[in-house]
Structure 1
Amino acid sequence: MKPVLPSSAIRWVNPPESPLPGDLTSMLNLPELVLRILQRQGMHSSADAHAFMDYQAYTPASPYELDDMDKGIERTLRAIMGGELIGVWGDFDVDGQTATATLVSALRKVGAKVVYHVPVRGPESHGIKLDVLQKFVKQGITLLITCDTGISEVNQVAWAQTQGIDVIITDHHTLPEVLPQAYAVINPQRLAVDHPLRPLPGVGVACKFAEALLDRFNQADEARSLHDLAALGIIADIADLHADSRYLAQSGIDVIRQSARPSLRAMLQAAEIEASQFSEESISFALAPRMNAVGRLADANPMVEFLLSDNPAVISVTVNQLEGLNAQRKLLCDQVFQGALAQIERNPALLDHPVLILSHPEWPAGVVGIVASRLISLYHRPVILMVAPPGGLMRGSARSIEGIDITAAIRHNSSLLTSFGGHPMAAGLALDPQNFKSFQRELDKTIEQQSEHHPVVNELQIDVWQQPAQIDLSLLQSIDQLAPFGAGNPPIVMAAKNMKLVNATPIGKTKEHMQLLIEDAQGQASKFLWWQSAGLPQPEGLFDLAFTARASTYKGQAQVQLEWLDFRPVETESLTLSSKKRKNIEHLDYRRSSVSNAALSEIISKYQPEVFGEGLETSTIERKNRLELSPSESLIILTLPPSQAILDEIMQKVQPQRVFWFCSQQPVNETEMVLKTTAQIIKQGFAQNQFKFILAEIAAALATTQEIVRLTILWMSARGLVTIQEDDAKSLSLSQGGIANPSQQENFKKKIQKSMAETQAFRRYALRSNLSDMVEHS
């Protein structure tokens, strides 16, 4: 099986060049960059642009444009007037917590008798468990309203209806083939794709239901007081920030800035966030993780009262619990993440699959979804992490990438599962362990079929080339008019050329982040934050840098905050062949063939090619390494290079019209061999009074990357074998002996193993990939 993409294969896309609509150019108070982003968002007039930037200029859609909203409201009115007990059934993530609180708050405002239940993740998981429902309705419930759940609960809804309990479903998850026979099914997925209500998550649907209900009691003005809850759920659930979804998020963030409810004010104080500086990032990185920690690790039912409470004692106790659970969540996430990386290091063949599936009997189910998202950022493919307790069902969380509908792929293989549910970017599932291998095999096929019809490319859209030292608060204030950023409205990505890393300092309570000092070609320095980057490779020599910029406040002072996204070596751009030249290359594929030396010699005699090969000590064919190649019409790839960048370098140097791909033999460069051979090269150099070592030369000799050679020498330094006297990015000047640092030694060895795994994954990918695509998209 081929992976959807090799890891770290990010293609930068330059800013599009197209004329701005005349009406947009009339908005003279905005810089061209902001106008171009508005154009990218489909804004072609100043009126559209104003409505996008200012929620007060936007006209939201009527709640009654949602199918069955009228039926749901009428049934709820009858229940209220008749004194019926209404039960609200929610979910334990942030979207579910806020949706539950929204419905409960609205129902209380209009005098309804209401009780609620939020499933406890451990014993119940998502959805509606029949035995728990049966116990819940014994209180005398005659009307059940779901929020952020229910759309797949056909049997549970059928049971409730037979008991004389009407069910109103408010949900946003993907529609099943057969809808539950509920009294009303309110789900924006029933609308047209371009309908303004279509992007709403669970809390968005609950908010529209509350809006319609409050209006019937002449309390329409009360609806906006619930927008803060809507903003929390919309941002936390990574809902598409378009139309009404964006409107609710903008309005809700403004509500929190102006007058945060007591519970949120207390959470902001604990997170050391000023309400006046509140943004979508405050939700994503501060409030949502704390709220999710409760749902994932404990019981989220108390969160409903907490969100609606103005009791200082209740709020104080709950905030303290949130802080403790959040610290526990971080620890568990780090443990699972390291465990997942360890599995990949032990078995790099896991990356041969288009979907990465890992399992462990003791992983806590509450955090595997978070870790799956972190793994996606490293390997850019769908990820499923499973908890596999002995003797029980395997249960897991799936996360996906743009272009792959993971829930549709899982549904296609639902015959192998006991349950599943979700939306295009995330899903939950359970299966019998006996079906695991079959499920993985069939899911691989389904994902490959999806990617064939809709090719998946890990692209980074650059919005503007901008030197970091030239960014000021005035520009950032203009950019902030485009906020909130998120799904459907990504942050503005800037890029700068010819940057140099000066130093890197670990930061954070557990040193999981990095603060980097970067210089541009003029020697102007800027500081960058690189989140969750501890242990990741850092650039060598000159590089291009992609980043985002936001205004932040530190000790009461506004400042520019730069955040690292991605980097690429400067030579990447100069080494890229023109698209026309790539497409004209003739590829002769012998990767899966057994070719004798005699046949190979005949090809060499006929075409007089350059022959690339590294790391083959026993080969009788004369070959060259990456540094020795020259231009030629023909090229033989005898062994696969260790990375896409080296392949680019080879193609640029040779500029071939035809390429013979053999690759039947691969260099044996396991970690221990690389460590041992590098040490031997340096030892021999010392014996010959050589103390300056060129990284590219050692890398070519070992058929590996310069990064791995550098890490190996750092490992030797940490062992006390050598001391690095000078480092000019391309070479290292060394002296014998040094001071050992055991902790650093182990750290560098892990980095070497990780980089080696990436090299092995690239070679396996290159053995299976389409040759034209691999060269064309290099």
Structure 2
Amino acid sequence: MRNLTAKWITPLPVCFSESIPKEIPHIIKSILLRRGLTHINDINDLVEPPDLPDPTDHFPDLDIASERIISAINNNEKIAICGDYDADGMTSTSLLVDFLLRLDGSPIPFIPSRKEEGYGLNRNIVEKIRREGIRLIITVDNGVSAIYEIELAQSYGIDVILSDHHEIKENLPNLLALIHPSTIPYSSPYKYLAGVGLAYLIAQTIAIKRNSTDKLSLSKDLFCIGTVADMAKLKGANRYWLKSWTPNLINTKSKGLKSLLSKAKLNNKNITTEDIAFRIAPRINSVGRISEPSLILKLFLEKDHISIREIVNKIENINKERKLLCNQTTSEAISILESNSEVLNPFIVLAQNHWHQGVIGIVAAKIMERYNRPTAILASDKNGFLRASVRSPKSFNALAALKKCSQILHKFGGHSAAGGFTIKAEKISLLQSKLNESASHWLSNNSKPTIEPECYVEFDQITNQICNYLKLLEPFGQGNPAPLFWTRGCTILKKETFYSGHQLLHLKQGKSIVKAINWNSNKFTTYPSSIDIAFYIDYENYFNTDKHQITIFSFKEYSKVESFALMNRIYKCQLDPEGNLLIENSLGKKICYKGTFNDQSINQFSDNKYIRRLVSISGEILGIV
């Protein structure tokens, strides 16, 4: 096995802004400043996002789309809702179908099979729509790449409202309406919306015109789930709505969603975006990955308790099967890589015909994390192509690498962190060579994964006040991650290993004892007697000692002496027996700082800015600032 030791990069000292109120704790101030929030107005907007503008002022075709849909409802027209098989696509479809049914509309959902039909709107769906006499298509979370299919639908006299958030790569045909982030002002708070967010805007606009905003209850629940599941940035409208609606998920009026929450053991707690990401979204996504997406629509729309129980149990079984497939495929991929005596490729490309298309994205992410290299996992499709999912470390641009290979790819798409493509099997060797060229230079500077905590905190500094402030920073997710802390010198008093391999550590630091869960461990994981940890505070549980209080993200052996680089020079720092700071350069020259760690004392210590910088950085690394 190739073990990778992560490189810890502790943050540089921050200069505290006088515009931030003094009553905000030092720990919270450090987080805010390191995230670029230097003024009280910025902080207020984070805690209480400003009201949103009228979306019809930002989306030029939103009025046209809503009027056409209202006309279809009034004239008893059938409306085709064409979605996709991921969580964003399934929640988008469910949202519009549920909302239009509540308005006595006649929506008919069409979601392609991942294995049989592939992504998005296709010719088979268009032909079904024509045969059913439908004259209006609304795409949700797809459509911008379905040029032929849209033109085919239009040739049959079918109106098309295209709502999608994916990048537009080709010129689109003239549409009845285009609801897409590219059509709105650059500074618009709606530019981060996923497919489900655009579907919600359509529903909301109609609801306002029809004086039916009371019909949007499930729409709001589905917006929360789809947005988080699609890993959309939690900024602008996403943050505004999630902050307002996520706490109400526990009170959902959907019997199906309520049953799913119960199965995920979320029926008796305050639901967070982390709960959606790790306990709700995987269950929904598993259905789209390896089963029929229509099951999710049935879950959200069903009213009969017995049917709902059957659906939820089926989803749970599908999720278990998905986990098993993921574990089997990941183990096989690791075995292939570990049995190869050759040097690991800078860009990992693995293909097996029997791998399931529905799990290759998850497997690619696991392999990428294990080896810290961009990874493509490929499985065969029924059309004679290999279909791939790509995942990359955060500083490597996956889409840029795929663009360099565009001439040998049949189709491709994605963004910097993830992508996908299809390719003929005979072109794999050439692809591997080209991808290696793209990744080799990056790998030479990024051979180790990095851990970048935001703030040092000791266990006795974690108070109710800190936990309450952290709650104000919610919701956490893309664009606003949960703060990652670090601390030093934790002694392991006790270790409990669960059946799944996860471990619960009882850690002591000074007089404080804390329970820490390590989800990334297994039964073979061992620890030094004293460790430094990067961790998340589980602030909902922190003062409930019956549960884990922090979640370990990474750990390393504690050392009294820490090394760091400044201006391409290497230094070591430590505290001497008297508690004074010692800093030593590569030539063995030392300085000793005996003052307190505030700007005034450090400025008085030396007129040399470089030395003052050394003292500040050393204090930050050792956790004594």
Unpaired stretches in structure 2, ≥5 consecutive residues: 572-583, 590-625
Alpha-carbon distance in 2 for matches of 1:655, 1:444 = 41
In structure 2, the CA distance between the partners of 1:527 and 1:559, relative to structure 1 (3 Å rule), is: closer
Q: Which one of 373, 395, 415 corresponds to residue 365 of structure 2?
A: 373
Q: Which moved more, 1:266-275 or 1:572-581?
A: 572-581
Listed as ranges, the matches of 1:86-485 within 5 Å are: 86-191=79-184, 194-223=187-216, 225-259=218-252, 261-347=254-340, 349=342, 351-353=344-346, 355-388=347-380, 392-447=384-439, 458-485=449-476
Alpha-carbon distance in 1 for matches of 2:383, 2:302 = 43
In structure 2, the CA distance between the partners of 1:506 and 1:240, relative to structure 1 (3 Å rule), is: same
Alpha-carbon distance in 1 for matches of 2:40, 2:250 = 26
In structure 2, the CA distance between the partners of 1:63 and 1:441, relative to structure 1 (3 Å rule), is: farther
Cα deviation for residue 253 of structure 1 reads 0.7
Task: Report the equivalent of 1:19.
Answer: 16
In structure 2, the CA distance between the partners of 1:569 and 1:224, relative to structure 1 (3 Å rule), is: same
In structure 2, the CA distance between the partners of 1:467 and 1:180, relative to structure 1 (3 Å rule), is: farther
Alpha-carbon distance in 1 for matches of 2:70, 2:416 = 34
Alpha-carbon distance in 1 for matches of 2:174, 2:431 = 30
1:516 aligns with 2:516: no
Over alpha carbons, which structure has the higher Rg? 1
Alpha-carbon distance in 1 for matches of 2:151, 2:497 = 56
Contact 1:515 1:530 survives alignment (8 Å):
yes
Alpha-carbon distance in 1 for matches of 2:385, 2:139 = 27
1:527 aligns with 2:518: no
Alpha-carbon distance in 1 for matches of 2:342, 2:364 = 18
Contact 1:67 1:190 survives alignment (8 Å):
yes
In structure 2, the CA distance between the partners of 1:506 and 1:276, relative to structure 1 (3 Å rule), is: closer
In structure 2, the CA distance between the partners of 1:558 and 1:41, relative to structure 1 (3 Å rule), is: farther
Alpha-carbon distance in 1 for matches of 2:546, 2:42 = 30
| Aligned residue identity for 1:311 | D
| Aligned residue identity for 1:135 | K
Listed as ranges, the matches of 1:729-768 within 5 Å are: none
1:726-770 per-residue CA deviation (whole Å, 9 max, x = no partner) reads xxxxxxxxxxxxxxxxxxxxxxxxxxxxxxxxxxxxxxxxxxxxx
| Aligned residue identity for 1:20 | S
Alpha-carbon distance in 2 for matches of 1:556, 1:654 = 50
RMSD, aligned α-carbons? 3.3
Cα deviation for residue 16 of structure 1 reads 4.2
In structure 2, the CA distance between the partners of 1:441 and 1:654, relative to structure 1 (3 Å rule), is: farther
Alpha-carbon distance in 2 for matches of 1:75, 1:92 = 26
Q: Which one of 52, 55, 58 corresponds to residue 65 of structure 1?
A: 58
Alpha-carbon distance in 2 for matches of 1:247, 1:102 = 19
Cα deviation for residue 176 of structure 1 reads 0.9
Cα deviation for residue 423 of structure 1 reads 3.5
Alpha-carbon distance in 2 for matches of 1:307, 1:268 = 12
Task: Report the equivalent of 2:497.
Answer: 506
Cα deviation for residue 242 of structure 1 reads 0.8
Contact 1:83 1:113 survives alignment (8 Å):
yes
Cα deviation for residue 235 of structure 1 reads 1.0
1:544 aligns with 2:524: no
Cα deviation for residue 300 of structure 1 reads 0.9
In structure 2, the CA distance between the partners of 1:391 and 1:177, relative to structure 1 (3 Å rule), is: closer
| Aligned residue identity for 1:34 | I
Cα deviation for residue 119 of structure 1 reads 1.4
Contact 2:455 2:486 survives alignment (8 Å):
yes
Contact 1:25 1:35 survives alignment (8 Å):
no
1:200-224 per-residue CA deviation (whole Å, 9 max, x = no partner) reads 1111111111111211212235445
Task: Report the equivalent of 1:569.
Answer: 557
Alpha-carbon distance in 1 for matches of 2:383, 2:36 = 53
1:490 aligns with 2:481: yes
In structure 2, the CA distance between the partners of 1:349 and 1:109, relative to structure 1 (3 Å rule), is: farther
Cα deviation for residue 565 of structure 1 reads 0.9
TM-score (norm 1): 0.68
Secondary structure at 2:539 match in 1: strand
In structure 2, the CA distance between the partners of 1:439 and 1:484, relative to structure 1 (3 Å rule), is: same
In structure 2, the CA distance between the partners of 1:412 and 1:340, relative to structure 1 (3 Å rule), is: same
In structure 2, the CA distance between the partners of 1:392 and 1:225, relative to structure 1 (3 Å rule), is: closer
Alpha-carbon distance in 2 for matches of 1:260, 1:283 = 17
Contact 1:469 1:526 survives alignment (8 Å):
no
Percent sequence identity is: 26
Contact 1:148 1:172 survives alignment (8 Å):
yes
In structure 2, the CA distance between the partners of 1:556 and 1:313, relative to structure 1 (3 Å rule), is: farther
In structure 2, the CA distance between the partners of 1:309 and 1:41, relative to structure 1 (3 Å rule), is: farther
Alpha-carbon distance in 1 for matches of 2:219, 2:558 = 50
Unpaired stretches in structure 1, ≥5 consecutive residues: 584-650, 657-778
1:645-684 per-residue CA deviation (whole Å, 9 max, x = no partner) reads xxxxxx998989xxxxxxxxxxxxxxxxxxxxxxxxxxxx
Q: Which moved more, 1:550-559 or 1:8-17?
A: 550-559
Alpha-carbon distance in 1 for matches of 2:159, 2:501 = 50
TM-score (norm 2): 0.83
Cα deviation for residue 82 of structure 1 reads 3.3
Task: Report the equivalent of 2:617.
Answer: none
Contact 2:542 2:549 survives alignment (8 Å):
no
Contact 2:372 2:448 survives alignment (8 Å):
no
Cα deviation for residue 98 of structure 1 reads 0.7
| Aligned residue identity for 1:357 | V
| Aligned residue identity for 1:266 | S
Secondary structure at 1:167 match in 2: strand
Listed as ranges, the matches of 1:547-696 within 5 Å are: 547-552=535-540, 561-571=549-559, 574-576=562-564, 578-581=566-569
| Aligned residue identity for 1:467 | E
| Aligned residue identity for 1:481 | L
In structure 2, the CA distance between the partners of 1:554 and 1:579, relative to structure 1 (3 Å rule), is: closer
Cα deviation for residue 436 of structure 1 reads 1.0
Cα deviation for residue 280 of structure 1 reads 1.2
